[in-house]
A and B are shown apart, each in its own frame.
Chain A
Amino acid sequence: MLAKYGPQLVNLLAAALLLLSFAMLTQRRILSLINLFAAQGFVLFLATALVAWLTGQHHLYGSAALTLALKVIALPWILHRLIRRLNVKWDVETLINIPSTMLVGIVLVILAFNLALPISSLAGTVTKATLGIALASVLLSFLMMITRSKAVPQVIGFLSMENGLFFAATGAVYGMPMVIEFGVALDVLVGALILGIFVFEIRERFDSVDTRHLERLKER
């Protein structure tokens, strides 16, 4: 029963992942943004665990557990603490208005689907169709990093991009070797910590976490 509907369920989770990427792109509030990021991590965990069960690739259970620990619990906790200490709960400022961002997002999704179609037809996995969605969520996170002016949403965009890459690896080749996955997970964790310190530094210098201040190179 589950083996029959398994690939379809993976597709459903992939669609949920893409939807959450879009929700993050259009979200104005920073707190909801973090919660959406945690939700995306949880969907990724479910998808990875399901693929592991369907294909019998036991190392994928390890990646699923890693995803749960890191992206659903640890990173959202760090981010929550970060915004509490920075005391930034205001609405996120976007450089382009949200309807235009959504239209650009749709174009990116079409682009990603077109790019992935020839690649995924070469893959032999049961989840090959999800490659397009993974690519689309990478591009959407990238777009989010570009269109936000504050540092914290940019950090979240970076982390969510890693979610997309992870999903691409799971869908196309049933995950990377465990060593690489641990390495990437550690990188993301350390990256989040460093970016947190970086955000503090920006605030110390400029009394704001707006990264547009960094465009000026000379001191006045």
Chain B
Amino acid sequence: MISLAGVAAQFTELALAVLLAPLLSGWVNQCRAWLQNKSAPPLLQPYRTLNKLFQKEVVLAHGASPLFRIAPYLIFGCLCAAAAIVPTLGTDLPLNAAADAIALVGLLALARLFIALAGMDIGTAFGSLGARREMLVGFLAEPALLMVLFTASLISGSSSLATIVEAIAHKEFAIYPSLAIAGVAFTMVSLAENARIPVDNPATHLELTMIHEAMVLEYSGRHLAMIEWAASLKLFVYSCIGLALFFPFGVAGGGDAAGIVLALPVLLLKLAIGGFLLALIETLSAKMRIFRAPEFLGTAFLLAVLSMLIHVLLER
């Protein structure tokens, strides 16, 4: 049964994610600049950058295949679909029945696949270098992310994100040691997946150390705008997955229209705190060598497995 209110809530959430994603990136950049004693860029700077890029003309390389041109839209579409699955305001969403946490990981993997293919498409050295590194990071991060999601699924008895949120937020409060450990693992995975310090530096201009930026070096104009927007959408989606799994308090229960209105300021507050903490992590840690990344993500995987074992031992 698809209710009208559910469809409305679904569209509100999706629009909110797409519109607020650059704001979250701007907020993180601003916090980081404050913490590093630099003068901060304005909060709305990502919107201005996007606007500027949309107005610029697209310059395509000679060898560019059609894949290179459609990839930005495909990536953006994948991340929109992912954003629609994650419950941010309410749990009564029609799309939740269609896709669960595993599908969410699949959508994120599809976006990564296309950005890596586009990076290799032109045939420049940096593009393929970045694509290979991205796939290295991705294939190590994905199992860890799946294990984190499985731990949450074991607790709630369902792999649907909406049911997980329902189970953690609206049942009787309990302390889950396994979720605490899974939270650490998830933080490490999302740092790696979003091309953040310590795995990648989002503000780097040194090609040799780039991962994400190296892949998109050849993009310009509206294509680059779509990719930048998709990157901030990815950060938003990851933040919302983290909030949904570990701090789902304040998300409205099924079919609660007033709750959705109340959930919005709570969500904004949680995102602001989360963004500040991300900036803090980025300021406090140094970027590590790329060959240390497998160890970093191996630790994340280990923590995720550990959280599952602890759930089996302590919480059954």
- Of the candidates B174, B178, B312, B313, the one having the most CB atoms from chain A within 10 angstroms of its own CB is B313
Contact indicator per residue, chain A 91-125, by CB within 8 Å of chain B (1) or not (0): 00000001100100110011001001100000000
Q: With the chains together, A31 CA to B280 CA distance in Å?
A: 23
Report A-chain residues with C-beta under 8 Å of the C-beta of B175: 5, 8-9, 11-12
Contacts across chains A and B counted by CB atoms under 8 Å:
57
User: B299–A15 contact, CB under 8 A?
Assistant: no
Q: Does A75 contact B (CB under 8 A)?
A: no
- Interface-located stretch among A18-26, A59-67, A159-167, A175-183: A18-26
Contact indicator per residue, chain B 123-160, by CB within 8 Å of chain A (1) or not (0): 00000000000000000000000000000000000000
Shortest Cβ gap from A101 to chain B (Å): 10
User: A133–B302 contact, CB under 8 A?
Assistant: no
Q: With the chains together, A131 CA to B27 CA distance in Å?
A: 45
Q: With the chains together, A110 CA to B314 CA distance in Å?
A: 13
Given A102-B302, A113-B313, verify A15-B295 contact (CB < 8 Å).
Answer: no
Shortest Cβ gap from B135 to chain A (Å): 19
Q: Does B254 contact A (CB under 8 A)?
A: no
User: B306–A106 contact, CB under 8 A?
Assistant: yes
Residue from the list A11, A22, A110, A132 in contact with B177, Cβ < 8 A: A11
Q: Which of A1-50 contact B (CB under 8 A)?
A: 5, 8-9, 11-12, 14-16, 18-19, 22, 26
User: B181–A19 contact, CB under 8 A?
Assistant: yes
User: B314–A98 contact, CB under 8 A?
Assistant: no
Q: Does A129 contact B (CB under 8 A)?
A: yes
User: B302–A106 contact, CB under 8 A?
Assistant: yes
User: B180–A15 contact, CB under 8 A?
Assistant: yes
Contact indicator per residue, chain B 193-231, by CB within 8 Å of chain A (1) or not (0): 000000000000000000000000000000000000000
Shortest Cβ gap from B291 to chain A (Å): 12
User: B314–A99 contact, CB under 8 A?
Assistant: no
Report B-chain residues with C-beta under 8 Å of the C-beta of A26: 299
Shortest Cβ gap from A57 to chain B (Å): 21
Report A-chain residues with C-beta under 8 Å of the C-beta of B294: 99
Q: Which residue of A lies closest to B175 (CB)?
A: A8
Q: Which of B159-192 contact A (CB under 8 A)?
A: 174-175, 177-178, 180-181, 184
Report B-chain residues with C-beta under 8 Å of the C-beta of A22: 302, 306
- Measured as residues with beta carbon below 8 angstroms from the partner, the interface class of chain A is 20 to 34
Q: Which of A52-88 contact B (CB under 8 A)?
A: none
Report B-chain residues with C-beta under 8 Å of the C-beta of A102: 298-299, 302
Contact indicator per residue, chain B 23-67, by CB within 8 Å of chain A (1) or not (0): 000000000000000000000000000000000000000000000
Q: Which of B270-298 contact A (CB under 8 A)?
A: 294-295, 298
Residue from the list B299, B303, B305, B313 in contact with A132, Cβ < 8 A: B313
Q: With the chains together, A202 CA to B131 CA distance in Å?
A: 50
Report B-chain residues with C-beta under 8 Å of the C-beta of A106: 302, 305-306
Q: With the chains together, A105 CA to B298 CA distance in Å?
A: 13
User: A14–B314 contact, CB under 8 A?
Assistant: yes
Q: Does B309 contact A (CB under 8 A)?
A: yes
- Of the candidates A98, A102, A105, A133, the one having the most CB atoms from chain B within 10 angstroms of its own CB is A102
Given A99-B294, A110-B309, A133-B313, verify A15-B178 contact (CB < 8 Å).
Answer: yes
Q: Does B99 contact A (CB under 8 A)?
A: no
Shortest Cβ gap from B257 to chain A (Å): 33
Q: With the chains together, A19 CA to B299 CA distance in Å?
A: 11
Residue from the list A9, A18, A130, A132 in contact with B306, Cβ < 8 A: A18
Given A19-B181, A19-B306, verify A99-B298 contact (CB < 8 Å).
Answer: yes
Report B-chain residues with C-beta under 8 Å of the C-beta of A99: 294-295, 298
Q: With the chains together, A94 CA to B88 CA distance in Å?
A: 45
Q: Which residue of A lies closest to B311 (CB)?
A: A15
Residue from the list B177, B295, B299 in contact with A12, Cβ < 8 A: B177
Q: Does B105 contact A (CB under 8 A)?
A: no
User: A129–B298 contact, CB under 8 A?
Assistant: no
A-B contact pairs, 7 of them (CB 8 A): A5-B175, A8-B174, A8-B175, A15-B180, A16-B177, A22-B306, A109-B306
Tell me the B residues contacting A by CB distance below 8 Å: 174-175, 177-178, 180-181, 184, 294-295, 298-299, 302-303, 305-306, 309-310, 312-315
